[in-house]
Amino acid sequence: MSRTRTAMLAALALVAGASGTALAASAPEDIGTAAVPCTVEYKVQNQWDTGFTAAVTVTNQGAAKSDWSVKWSYAGNQKVTSGWNAKISQSGAAVTATNETYNGTLSTGGSVSFGFQGSYSGTNAIPAAFTLDGVTCNVDDGGGPTDPPDPDPTGPKVDNPYSGAKVYVNPEWSANAAAEPGGSRIANQPTGVWLDRIAAINGVNGGMGLRDHLDAALIQKGSGELVVQLVIYNLPGRDCSALASNGELGPTELGRYKTEYIDPIAAILADPKYAALRIVTTIEIDSLPNLVTNTGSRPTATPQCDVMKANGNYQKGVGYALNKLGDAPNVYNYIDAGHHGWIGWDDNFAPSAAVMKEAATSEGATVNDVHGFIANTANYSALKENNFTINDSVGGKSVRESKWVDWNRYTDELSFAQAFRQQLVTTGFNSGIGMLIDTSRNGWGGSARPAGPGPMTDVDAYVNGGRYDRRLNTGNWCNQSGAGLGERPQANPAAGIDAYVWIKPPGESDGASQEIPNDEGKGFDRMCDPTYTGNPRNGNNMSGSLPNAPLSGHWFSAQFQQLMQNAYPPLS
């Protein structure tokens, strides 16, 4: 399955030692807050010898706006070099920040935040005045480096980190989405940040690193609660049954996984600067279930999966990640739980839960390090099939006997996630665990969406005529033709479900449709080739993938446009 989500401003890796610096402008003594129709808070978040990052929050007390422009001037030689959540330009000392297409609305009493990186020499004085659409604003003192530290915001973990919280909007993905025709309709949706290789921690190709994302999250947080969604995805011998999503670490490189990947991430997440964020980690997509379904004498087995089952490095790696990341009191670990079209069969269901328990009690981890599980990550399985149930029969044949269901016990992700949660509890996980379901690409709307059940002529016609999921087989996973955006991210949508989430950023490819040489460790998987006729893992069906796809994680405009066109619920 697809996977790259990485980072901006690689230079910010230089500021790790200066993190936590918080400078803010003081209000001029002759300006009263109540008399001014806007307030600006300007904070220097990080500062080093030649550069700095700053966060700006604007609160509008005047009439509601559909677009906005904030201006200020520097007294020194500061230069803005890049920014996020606003279009920022500079002429001499004068700086202008205007809204992006996705954050132009500014209601009365509403706030908007943006950030930037800059350079300077000598002193880095705070601007004395700001205007919002030409009106002078009050400048709020957000606290300086000599102010006493804020109270420790940490405490016991909440039952559901998504309850009562906003979720981080990745500015890199948001910019890609907003640049697409019609993309501004969803550019403000929260998506996962994929840490799919060691270099992603500090940022690749000039993109944002982990600290950059967390700094941007602090800007978005404001005074409320905010969830940041991280994908921990770099196991040794990763995704042993596929090629497009293979990783950089070989099957035996558990040591590098620990010291070069997990340890640096854990150190950043433990920084007190980020203690007020709720950090949700999605732990290692697509690997643990392979140990059940793609090993041994099964027709779907691969030599690579047999190696990983023998050396135990999937369980050890996941256990180490759970143990180290779970040490931070504001980190919520969710283990990947595959999807119904992978482990919904009797032979896979309970054994997969047992493997997950084995991983969760390896390398010093315990079940207390697991807050929950996530189903359908980066996959296409429909959330709820309303036109048939697993208990229906046609002509004396159960729905389970249809070619589509193929003796699976589940027809959709919601029923599977709720049942698998109970199986996990039975296996020994805490009864309070919650489930997440990735709904980023499982909407299956548009003209092909059935309005009702299929004909009762036979069980296959009944299922095929009524199912929303239009794939040729539930094993098809790469850039699927006809897919659409699913339910928008939301908390507490159903019993046992903590949230519907968009962990997979819509518009990012699952894998290249032909071989493309690269230095990202990504192979060519025929399941991404639209001419491929399949293998035992997809019932020897055609792949159903879109043509002309780029490498996994790279932007795929044609897919993004299809997802918007076929969205269900539809986009307005």
Q: How confident is the model at residue 258 (pLDDT cuts 50, 70, 90)?
A: very high
Q: How confident is the model at residue 176 (pLDDT cuts 50, 70, 90)?
A: very high
Nearest-angstrom CA–CA distance, 13 and 539: 46
Active site residue 412: no
Residue 9 identity: L
Q: In this structure, what DSSP letter does residue 463 have?
A: H
Q: Which stretch of 25-29, 85-89, 208-212, 254-258 has the lowest confidence by average pLDDT?
A: 25-29
Closest by alpha carbon to 39, among 140, 112, 127? 140
Average pLDDT over residues 128-136: 93
35: exposed, middle or buried (Cβ count in 10 Å: 0-12, 13-18, 19+)? exposed
Confidence (pLDDT) at 205:
85
Q: Which of 286, 438, 498, 525 is catalytic?
A: 286
Q: Which helix (H) or strand (E) holds 118?
A: strand 111-119
Domain boundaries, the chain: 22-140, 165-565
Active site residue 286: yes
Mean pLDDT of the chain: 89
Residue 212 identity: D
Active site residue 510: yes
Residue 477 annotated as binding site: yes
Nearest-angstrom CA–CA distance, 94 and 376: 48
Confidence (pLDDT) at 522:
79
Scanning the structure block, which residue is given the tokens 């509008």?
60
The upper half-sphere exposure of residue 398, i.e. CA atoms within 13 Å in the direction of its Cβ, equals 11
Q: How confident is the model at residue 12 (pLDDT cuts 50, 70, 90)?
A: very low
Residue 196 annotated as binding site: yes
Confidence (pLDDT) at 144:
42
Instruction: State the Rg of the chain over Cα.
Output: 25
Average pLDDT over residues 27-46: 64
Residue 194 annotated as binding site: yes
Among left, alpha and beta (phi > 0; psi -120 to 50; other), residue 378 is left
Q: Where do runs of H (alpha helix) occur along 455-510?
A: 459-466
pLDDT tens readout for residues 447-476: 999 999 999 999 999 999 999 999 999 999
Confidence (pLDDT) at 141:
52
Q: Let me know how many helices (H) and strands (E) the chain has, helices first.
A: 12, 22
Contacts of residues 362-367 at CB distance under 8 Å and 24 or more positions apart, as own/partner, are: 362/312, 362/315, 362/316, 362/318, 362/319, 362/320, 363/316, 363/317, 363/319, 363/320, 363/323, 364/319, 364/320, 364/323, 365/318, 365/319, 365/320, 365/322, 365/323, 365/326, 367/428, 367/429, 367/430
pLDDT tens readout for residues 358-416: 999 999 999 999 999 999 999 999 999 999 999 999 999 999 999 999 999 999 999 99
- 541 vs 18, higher pLDDT: 541
Confidence (pLDDT) at 244:
65
Q: Which of 140, 212, 215, 239 is catalytic?
A: 239
Q: Which CATH superfamily is domain 165-565 in?
A: 1, 4-beta cellobiohydrolase (3.20.20.40)
Average pLDDT over residues 8-13: 31
Q: Is the pLDDT of residue 3 over 50?
A: no
- 461 vs 18, higher pLDDT: 461
Nearest-angstrom CA–CA distance, 356 and 42: 46
pLDDT tens readout for residues 217-250: 999 998 999 999 999 999 999 989 877 667 899 9
pLDDT tens readout for residues 185-226: 999 999 999 999 999 999 988 899 999 999 999 999 989 999
Confidence (pLDDT) at 155:
57
Residue 541 identity: N
Average pLDDT over residues 56-77: 92
The crossing angle, in degrees rounded to 10, of helices 313-325 and 303-311 is 60
Structure tokens of 63? Answer: 């009439």
Q: Is the pLDDT of residue 27 over 70?
A: no
Nearest-angstrom CA–CA distance, 372 and 421: 9
Q: Is the pLDDT of residue 317 over 80?
A: yes
The secondary structure of 527-564, three-state, reads: HHCCCCCCCHHHCCCCCCECCCCCCCCCECHHHHHHHH
User: DSSP readout, 40-66?
Assistant: EEEEEEEE-SSEEEEEEEEEE-SS-BS
Q: Which of 438, 510, 525, 529 is catalytic?
A: 510
Q: Is the pLDDT of residue 16 over 60?
A: no
User: Quick check: do 22-140 and 165-565 share a fold?
Assistant: no
Average pLDDT over residues 28-39: 54
Q: What is the pTM of this model?
A: 0.75
Residue 339 annotated as binding site: yes
Q: How confident is the model at residue 571 (pLDDT cuts 50, 70, 90)?
A: very high
Query: How do strand 278-283 and strand 331-336 relate by DSSP bridges?
Result: parallel
Query: How do strand 111-119 and strand 51-60 relate by DSSP bridges?
Result: antiparallel
Which fold, 22-140? Answer: Immunoglobulin-like (2.60.40)
Q: In this structure, what DSSP letter does residue 199 have?
A: G
Instruction: Provide, rounded to the nearest whole percent, the portion of the chain with pLDDT above 90.
Output: 74
Residue 508 annotated as binding site: yes
